[in-house]
Amino acid sequence: MNDTAETLHFSCTLCGKCCHDLKLPLSVSESISWLRRGGVVQVLTEAMPWPVEPPADDGPAQHKRRRSFAATSGNQPIRVIVTLAASFDGPCPHLRDDMRCGAYEARPRVCRIYPAEVNPYVKLMPAGKACPPQAWTEQHPAFERAGRILDDQTVEIIRQSRDADAQDASLKERFVALLGYTKAALSNEGFAVYTPQPAAAREALEAVAAQASRSSLDRVSSDWTFVSNQRDTIEALVSIEARATADTKDDDGAFRYLGWRASNT
Ligand code: SF4
Ligand code: SF4
């Protein structure tokens, strides 16, 4: 697969697998565009206790800090990460029969960089990608060497994605406040997945985007509840005076819990 242990070769085979059954992370402006084209955007929430600020040289923690906003859970300071995701089962609504993108010029950044990773702390692993083995053979151009993506355009789009992620954190804070979302999974354990009505999501996103373009955003004060399907997690969160519940869906079905481990509650 590699000419050296550190070089990944890649070329898209147009198999279309990466355009099926997805939750595609989108920026705020991409979410508005996706909704305007008739798509569905889900809201994935995760949070973590944040009792003290991490050192400036703690790269992974600083990465989480940039893409999150401050809040509380009971007496515990926390940070909340909100991911907006274009969601579909089966083929993407824009996927054509010939496996080409029907929204090519407007496709989200995450589609433009695939199979590269946006998160600088996630290693690109072919086994974790939808692309078939023949996409990674040495006949193809070098795609990544020693952990660095080689194509300048892809590098630039990844940079834009990271910048948008950081800039959008305060807009997402306002957005979830408008929709009344206050439940989050513990980060690295899963997500609370909200599925707002597309019209309501679009209206709220357009409102926060318009406000951001006029002035700095008001701070929002919100108190969050952790949701978990792990008994130990709930006990640990309650012991630090955070709010935590094993109820993995609201009575009105507003969210459902998507956990990485089988429930033991
Ligand atoms: S927008 Fe285009 S590239 Fe992205 S998942 Fe849909 S069909 Fe694929
Ligand atoms: S899964 Fe990989 S090879 Fe297949 S269409 Fe997507 S990027 Fe191309």
* Residue appearing with tokens 């429930």: 263
Q: What is the pLDDT of residue 221?
A: 74
Q: What is the pLDDT of residue 25?
A: 96
Pairing assessment for the beta strands 7-9 and 142-145 based on DSSP bridges: antiparallel
16 CA: nearest ligand 1 atom: 8
Q: Which two tokens stand for residue 37?
A: 């084209």
244 C-alpha to center of ligand 1: Å?
37
Tell me, yes or no, whether 152 lies in a domain. yes
Q: How many residues does the chain have?
A: 265
**Residue of the CA atom closest to atom 8 of ligand 1:** 19
Tell me, yes or no, whether 251 lies in a domain. yes
Tell me, yes or no, whether 16 lies in a domain. yes
97 C-alpha to center of ligand 2: Å?
15
Q: What is the pLDDT of residue 138?
A: 95
Tell me, yes or no, whether 155 lies in a domain. yes
Tell me, yes or no, whether 254 lies in a domain. yes
Q: What is the dihedral of CA 18, 20, 25, 26, to 10 degrees?
A: 100
Does the CB atom of residue 101 touch ligand 1 within 6 A? yes
Query: Is the peptide bond prior to 115 cis by the omega test (within 30 degrees of 0)?
Result: yes
Tell me, yes or no, whether 1 lies in a domain. no
Q: What is the pLDDT of residue 211?
A: 86
Q: What is the pLDDT of residue 251?
A: 67
- Helix, strand, or coil here: 111? helix
Counting as low any pLDDT under 50, the low residues of the chain are 1-3
For residue range 151-168, list pLDDT tens digits in order.
999 999 999 999 999 999
Q: What is d(CA 115, CA 10) in angstroms, rounded to the nearest whole number?
A: 9
Q: What is the pLDDT of residue 2?
A: 43
For residue range 166-188, list pLDDT tens digits in order.
999 999 999 999 999 999 999 99
Tell me, yes or no, whether 2 lies in a domain. no
User: In the chain, how many domains are there?
Assistant: 1
10 C-alpha to center of ligand 2: Å?
10
Look up the domain containing 140 and give its range.
7-259
220 C-alpha to center of ligand 1: Å?
34
Tell me, yes or no, whether 32 lies in a domain. yes
Q: What is the pLDDT of residue 222?
A: 87
Does the CB atom of residue 100 touch ligand 2 within 6 A? no
Does the CB atom of residue 111 touch ligand 1 within 6 A? yes
